Amino acid sequence: MPARQATSILNGISSPADVKALPADAMPQLAAEIRGELIRVLSNTGGHLGPNLGVVELTIALHRVFETPKDKIVFDVSHQGYVHKLLTGRRERFSSIRQYEGLNGFLLRSESEHDCYGAGHAGTAISAALGMAAARDMLGGDEHVVCVAGDAAFTCGVSFEALNNVASGTKRLIIVLNDNEWSIAKNVGAVAEYLNRLVTNPAYAHLHDKAAKFVEWIGGKGARKLAHKAEVGLKNLLAPSVIFEDLGIRYYGPIDGHDTALLTETFEFLKTQNDPVILHILTQKGKGYAPALERPDKFHGLGKFHLDTGETVASPTPTYSELLGTSLANFADHNNKIAAITAAMPTGTGLVGFAKRHPGRFFDVGIAEEHAAIFACGLAVQGMKPFLAIYSTFMQRSYDMIIHDMALQNLNVALCMDRAGLSGDDGPTHHGLFDIGFLRPVPGLIHMQPKDEDEFVDMLWTIVNYHEGPIAIRYPRGAGTGAVPKKKPQILEIGKSEVLRHGSRAAIIALGNMCELALEAAASLEEAGISTAVINARWIKPLDTAMIEFFARGCEVVCTMEDHVLHNGFGCAVIEHLSEQKITTPVVRVGWPDQFVEHGTVPILRAKHGITTAAAVEKMLSMLPGRKSAGIQPAA
């Protein structure tokens, strides 16, 4: 990590105007201070360290050349927007990033006028930037629109849909292709190989002199000397016959993405162009911090870490993601039909171990969830048992394929929805709070959630042995209760719930990780003399209707608890069924409200939004005859 200078430049930056006012020779110190600040703060908060270390010089150059908020800079995903935040008036609040009521880990239009577009998923920037440019053209504006997209975003189908329309959509747009060879994992596929050929093909070496003359033309003889110092980055500045040219977008690059002066000169030139252009820059993910350079996948996004070593605090028990990878690998040892698919997240979904043990049946398709879902369908048609492991928030992108390709054809595909429920510090773009709602209406699809790790492995084994169509499992981020899976997993009866505690006056039907809270709530009610049953629902679809009816007919109040939005969630399914059966027992629900939930730690957000034992107890007490104002104190 670079040493800090005696007089801090970064501390004097309160707006992009301050960046512009600095002399050119101050840029290396500013870059070093920014990297130091990123490493220091994120060691305490966690976050996307590697991507931000890689875009320091790029972000400085953008703000030296362009005038935000008038000019628009659109960051794809926007997880690499921390440097942008530091340079646009949020320096004093930067230590609050990803903390409750602090700065968000992604860009938000509501957070700053300099954030022209919010994001959290890959592949959105080119389409959004093109829309902004087209609107500018129609409205007669003169602002510049710049799109910054990593090479991984170019594996998204939507990026190519946008590229297909750029030339016909506007005459002035700057696209920056930030090429660091990584998304979260190492980039894969033909697009990554194509970009690598652009960088390494010796046939372009003769363009070095031409590139140097070009830079001299736009920036003078000083820039020519600069070009000689950036030999590797500049040798392909005018690479011909690339796919982007065929799409009507003028291509420049690759150039050194860590040379602020070169980037500044190039952007000044690109501002003068009346054609859509793409600038291909080469950067290092994790630049300036050795642990991040050694483990780009780990440092893409991580929790708190030790500054000296980069080590994080390991979970004392395996996470659900890790259990998925281990269990599937074990099952695949004895079943050659099992395959595993991920969309650029082998580490995040826990499939690294599966990939090592069964490389021929592991597929990382890049950031292409839609393709991943249809690819899984193709495997299923041929008799394979594909497990599609994608975060709940990203599975939303596959919804059409789940209905049209998977469910309509009743294909034997398993959907493994990681990070279902609250995703804490990552915020609204990453919370997995909608999958019950969008999967519940799909005909024939089985959907489940385990209460702990032991039941999780049983459910995975049940999925392996299920051959009648699509089946889904949702599970939370991180570790569960620490329940150790049995040596020999069991096949669970589909649609059969589990009674965890018997009771006669009240019943709590809890889904997945809400069972712990349900048991605590039941204990509080028992102390008040209210006999309370707790049921581990297990199945979202099909519901255990017999169990639900039994307790609803015998109890005075029913409570449902779920780590999901209440609208169209598990509780809704229970209410709908009881209504159809004309059972009038009151049902109260505990779940997330009808809004996008902010970022923060899980305990803080649960307390704020009423996902607690106290809330469950209070709601149930309010529905019990004679208990509405009894003054019973629920447990915290």
Return the biggest CA–CA distance within the chain. 89
Measure the CA–CA gap between 226 and 229, rounded to whole angstroms: 5
- pLDDT tens column, 577-636: 999 999 999 999 999 999 999 999 999 999 999 999 999 999 999 999 766 534 444 443
Residue appearing with tokens 């679809």: 541
* pLDDT for res 234: 36
Short-list 60, 55, 67, CA closest to 260 = 60
397 in catalytic set: yes
Q: Which residue has the higher pLDDT, 311 or 612?
A: 612
Q: Say whether pLDDT at 211 is over 50.
A: no
Tell me whether residue 585 is exposed, middle or buried, using C-beta atoms within 10 angstroms of its C-beta: 0 to 12, 13 to 18, 19 or more: middle
Which of these ranges, 110-114, 168-172, 192-196, has the smallest mean pLDDT?
192-196
Neighbours of 368 (CB within 10 A): 24
* pLDDT for res 233: 36
Given the residues 35, 64, 90, 285, the one annotated as active site: 285
The token pair at 465 is 């042995």
Q: Say whether pLDDT at 229 is over 50.
A: no
The token pair at 548 is 């639900």
Mean pLDDT for the chain? 88
Given the residues 397, 541, 606, 619, the one annotated as active site: 397
- pLDDT tens column, 143-155: 999 999 988 888 8
Pairing of strands 250-256, 506-510: unpaired
CB 175 within 8 A of CB 276: yes
Q: Say whether pLDDT at 202 is over 80.
A: no
What percentage of the chain carries pLDDT values higher than 90?
74
248 band by pLDDT with thresholds 50, 70 and 90: very high
Ordered by where they begin, the domains of the chain are 10-300 (3.40.50.970), 320-474 (3.40.50.970), 498-623 (3.40.50.920)
Q: Say whether pLDDT at 104 is over 50.
A: yes
Q: Say whether pLDDT at 311 is over 60.
A: yes
Single pTM value for the model: 0.86
- pLDDT tens column, 324-347: 999 999 999 999 999 999 998 999
- pLDDT tens column, 435-471: 999 999 999 999 999 999 999 999 999 999 999 999 9
* pLDDT for res 186: 52
Write out the DSSP string of 554-603: HSSEEEEEEEEESTTSHHHHHHHHHHHTT----EEEEEE-SS----S-HH
Alpha helices (H) along 72-207: 82-87, 125-139, 157-169, 190-200
Given the residues 369, 370, 520, 562, the one annotated as active site: 369
Write phi, then psi, for 301 (nearest 5 degrees).
-155, 125
* pLDDT for res 180: 83
CA dihedral for 341, 343, 349, 350, sign (positive or negative): positive
* pLDDT for res 120: 85
